[in-house]
Amino acid sequence: MEFLNTVITGTGSYIPSRVIDNSLFAKQTFFEKDESLIDSPGEEVVRKFRDITGIAQRRWVTEDQTTSQIAAIAAERAIESAGIDRETIDHIILAHDFGDVVNGTIQTDLLPSLAARVKHMLGIKNPACVAYDLIFGCPGWVQGFIQADSFIRSGLAKRCLVIGAETLSRVVDNYDRDTMIFSDGAGATILEGNLSDKKRGVLASATVSHTEEEAYYLYLGKSNAPESDPKVRYIKMHGRKIYEYSISNVPHAMKMSLDKAGVPIEEIKKILLHQANEKMDEAIVKRFYRLFGVHPNIKEVMPMNIHELGNSSVATVPTLYDMIMKGDLPEHQINNGDLIIFASVGAGMNINSIVYRQ
């Protein structure tokens, strides 16, 4: 018996060269959402921030770069990694949140779509290669992966390019300490249908969406600075609510996908979780294993790059996977046959999870 599997055949990422260290925020004046001054010393604010999030540095693009440009770089690297003819790509799915925001402006540019721009920059001429954007919050790349798997299994596509790219540095409020969380980056994968006598690649997936009170845990709002222009809006979040929502709901979404896959939790080698907050991610993984009565070695099962790269939204999971596959995180390896989970949570609020056999 043969199985049609959706497998990753190529990976690529772009990590901006501009390093923004926590120390650069030590002299910054921060305000609460009610515009009251945070009068703690800057060094103390930064120290508490690192203790909670694990972030010491983040990467921001240079002034001349945009989201679509870094997406194209990551895509080019994924195509090269897969060793394929780019004209044979059926779908380009590009996940992002804010489009191209040119340095010095506050306007989101989505005309044409970023995926169309990437197809143009890659020089793909094939009109049957369909390029479109996916707006799904931080879980966008994982959702693009799930969509590509559906296209491949239904026979509507044989090969897909799925990209997650974002430049959050263009939409942060310098007077909001949450600014320190956000970063820029891009990750891409080539997904292909593969016939095999064994099940591998995507074994199962799950997606959930909560849009009552949770819909606006992440939103656009005015600067925290007093007397700021309310017409100029920046990325904002209710951090405590997101934390509580995530640790309560993400483990169950991960369990849904694992139950669908019908494999024991003991087989999991790695969990590639959205790099949002170190303590939150650790709590999610611990609660996930607790659902099965298992106590994992967190450092062994959960790779992280948030300490140096920060939270680049849709780019965190594909970038993390690419870094592992390229040997850039030598303490972690993913080998043929390994069972891994991709999972993410973010604006919407949306959660998704994929169980994948390497």
Q: Of 114, 21, 8, 129, which Cα lies nearest the Cα of 66?
A: 114
pLDDT, tens digit, 9 for 90 and up, residues 148-176: 999 999 999 999 999 999 999 999 999 99
Parse the chain into domains and list their residue ranges: 3-196, 201-357
pLDDT, tens digit, 9 for 90 and up, residues 90-117: 999 999 999 999 998 878 999 999 999 9
- Strand bridging mode 57-60 / 18-21: antiparallel
> What CATH class has 3-196?
alpha beta
Q: Which residues contact 328 (CB under 8 A, 6 or more apart)?
A: none
At residue 2 the predicted structure's pLDDT band, cuts being 50, 70 and 90, is: confident
At residue 41 the predicted structure's pLDDT band, cuts being 50, 70 and 90, is: confident
At residue 16 the predicted structure's pLDDT band, cuts being 50, 70 and 90, is: very high
Q: Alpha-carbon distance 258 to 264, whole Å?
A: 8
Which of 95-109, 273-287, 324-338 has the least mean pLDDT?
A: 95-109
The DSSP result for 73-115, as a single string, is HHHHHHHHHHT--GGG--EEEEE-SS-B--TT----B-SS-HH
Q: Alpha-carbon distance 244 to 238, whole Å?
A: 10
Q: Is the pLDDT of residue 42 over 80?
A: no
The stretch 77-85 carries a mean pLDDT of: 98
Written as six digits, the tokens of 354 are 């994929």
Q: Is the pLDDT of residue 321 over 90?
A: yes
Cβ atoms of 309 and 319 within 8 Å: the answer is: yes
Please give the pLDDT value at position 236: 95
Q: Alpha-carbon distance 97 to 100, whole Å?
A: 9
Q: Is the pLDDT of residue 183 over 90?
A: yes
Please give the pLDDT value at position 43: 84
At residue 277 the predicted structure's pLDDT band, cuts being 50, 70 and 90, is: very high
At residue 40 the predicted structure's pLDDT band, cuts being 50, 70 and 90, is: confident
The stretch 268-289 carries a mean pLDDT of: 96
The stretch 207-223 carries a mean pLDDT of: 96
Q: Of 196, 178, 180, 142, which Cα lies nearest the Cα of 6?
A: 196
Same fold, 3-196 and 201-357: yes
At residue 247 the predicted structure's pLDDT band, cuts being 50, 70 and 90, is: very high
At residue 39 the predicted structure's pLDDT band, cuts being 50, 70 and 90, is: confident
Please give the pLDDT value at position 148: 98
Please give the pLDDT value at position 241: 96
Burial of 229 (0-12, 13-18, 19+ CB in 10 A): exposed
The stretch 293-321 carries a mean pLDDT of: 95
| Mean pLDDT estimate for the chain | 95
Please give the pLDDT value at position 338: 97
Q: Is the pLDDT of residue 28 over 80?
A: yes
At residue 356 the predicted structure's pLDDT band, cuts being 50, 70 and 90, is: very high
Burial pattern 274-303, b for ≥16 Cβ within 10 A else e, equals bbbbbebbbbbbbbbbeeeeeebeeeebbb
Q: Which residue has the tokens 């600075």?
A: 225
The stretch 40-68 carries a mean pLDDT of: 91
201-357 is a CATH 2.60.40.10 domain:
no
